[in-house]
Structure 1
Amino acid sequence: MGAATYAAEAHRQDLRKATAIPYLSHLWSVAALVMEHGGDDQQVAAALLHDVAEDHGGAARIADIAERFGPEVARLVEGLSDSLADTDAGETKAPWRERKQQYLAHLGEVDERVALVSACDKLHNARAIEADLRTVGPALWQRFTVTDPADHLWYYGSLLTALHAKVPGPLGDALRRTISSIEALARTDTSNGRP
């Protein structure tokens, strides 16, 4: 079984937040970005698998990925995860801000291989937020567990700082432009009196 099939099986019932879009579309998009920015086969596999452990199986899933796809792919996936709680088995993830703060601190320690895949993941998520802000406006924030746009702006701004030195060039530029656009759209919504 390849990484794409493994990810499709794990995420078979998952959708993007408040949409009918299969979650697998995000994984394919991240994998495509990794390829476009020079990632190797292991990084592409990690892009396809990057949310499997975080969303379905926790640390046990990392062990399974190591067995099936090798220790380097498992290391990358673990480095991309902000939680290894097995929510499928009833474990609870830490609160959102705590997880994000830990992940941001972790990004300061990761190598460029993890940073590349992480930046591609965050870029695809940021592009989705940007597009949805343009079409649905600030109602977008209600899709998330944490609904205050200031929290999301803090997180994405902090990601830029954490990834800046490790992701130079076109990928870093694209992430910076997209986050700047989100910040401008969020400010516009607030200044227009929209929640």
Structure 2
Amino acid sequence: MAPRATDQPWQDLDLVMRAAAYAADAHRGDLRKGTTIPYLSHLWSVAALVLEHGGDDEQVAAALLHDVAEDHGGTARLADVAKEFGPEVARLVEALSDSLVDTDAGEEKAPWQERKSTYLQHLADVDERVALISACDKLHNARSVEADLREVGPAVWERFRVQEPEQHLWYYRSLVEALRPKVPAALGEMLQRTVAAIEELAQRD
């Protein structure tokens, strides 16, 4: 017998839809780097991947909210997420953030290399719930880079603050190494294949 909808761990649709509305408000006007694509497209794509790979309602909500504190409000925003969505969603969002300074208030993030190195060290200690969302986030980012490399070539790197391809390749290779042992096999394989495709395209250019 097929399970009833209420038996599914991701069926708290109210939590998910509230998270979607909150993210839409927080990221209002935000676009994907160097494009006219609303940033919400990334958040929904990550949430869909989390759902496809077995995430529960709190993980899906955190996927939708994974950049709100990092991009808009830092620790104050994180406290609001905890109030609105509970401690577990806030814990996941915090673990997915590589910076919690308030850029909206003019605070500056640490340099890219420092933030990414610290985040990679942090991934060694995260649990599988965090790793699943992080892998889905990085997979969607990597797929976007791959698609843009095929469409516009090396000009894609000009969209980023750090424009050296080798820096991005180092980061993606390191993410595969850190995340693959902690996530479902199919997800880890997709991330590895996508990063390999980026490497091939970058070398071709």
**Which category of TM-score, normalised to the shorter sequence, fits these structures?**
over 0.9
Q: Shift in Å at residue 89 of structure 1?
A: 0.7
- Pairing partner for 1:88 from 104, 125, 129: 104
For residues 117 and 110 of structure 2, the distance between their equivalents in structure 1, rounded to whole angstroms, comes to: 11
Match of 1:28 in 2: 44
Match of 1:39 in 2: 55
For residues 60 and 180 of structure 2, the distance between their equivalents in structure 1, rounded to whole angstroms, comes to: 21
Match of 1:147 in 2: 163
Among all aligned residue pairs of Structure 1 and Structure 2, give the percentage whose two residues are the same amino acid: 74
- Pairing partner for 1:71 from 87, 95, 98: 87
Deviations 1:96-131 (A, max 9, x none): 000000000000000000000000000000000000
Deviations 1:109-154 (A, max 9, x none): 0000000000000000000000000000000000000000000000
For residues 47 and 55 of structure 1, the distance between their equivalents in structure 2, rounded to whole angstroms, comes to: 14
For residues 13 and 183 of structure 1, the distance between their equivalents in structure 2, rounded to whole angstroms, comes to: 32
- Pairing partner for 2:66 from 36, 47, 50: 50
Q: Which runs of 4+ in 1 moved over 4 A?
A: none
**Corresponding letter in the other structure for 2:142:** A
Does the residue aligned with 1:15 lie in a helix, a strand or coil?
coil
Q: Shift in Å at residue 165 of structure 1?
A: 1.2
Structure 1: 5+ residue runs without aligned partners? 190-195
- Pairing partner for 1:6 from 9, 12, 22: 22
Give the TM-score of the pair, scaled to structure 2.
0.91
Give the TM-score of the pair, scaled to structure 1.
0.96
Q: Shift in Å at residue 3 of structure 1?
A: 0.2
Q: Shift in Å at residue 167 of structure 1?
A: 1.5
For residues 168 and 181 of structure 1, the distance between their equivalents in structure 2, rounded to whole angstroms, comes to: 20
Match of 2:178 in 1: 162
For residues 92 and 103 of structure 2, the distance between their equivalents in structure 1, rounded to whole angstroms, comes to: 20
**Corresponding letter in the other structure for 1:113:** R
Q: Shift in Å at residue 2 of structure 1?
A: 0.4
Deviations 1:139-180 (A, max 9, x none): 000000000000000000010111121114100000000000
- Pairing partner for 1:131 from 147, 165, 178: 147
1:181 and 2:197 are equivalent in the alignment: yes
Match of 2:122 in 1: 106
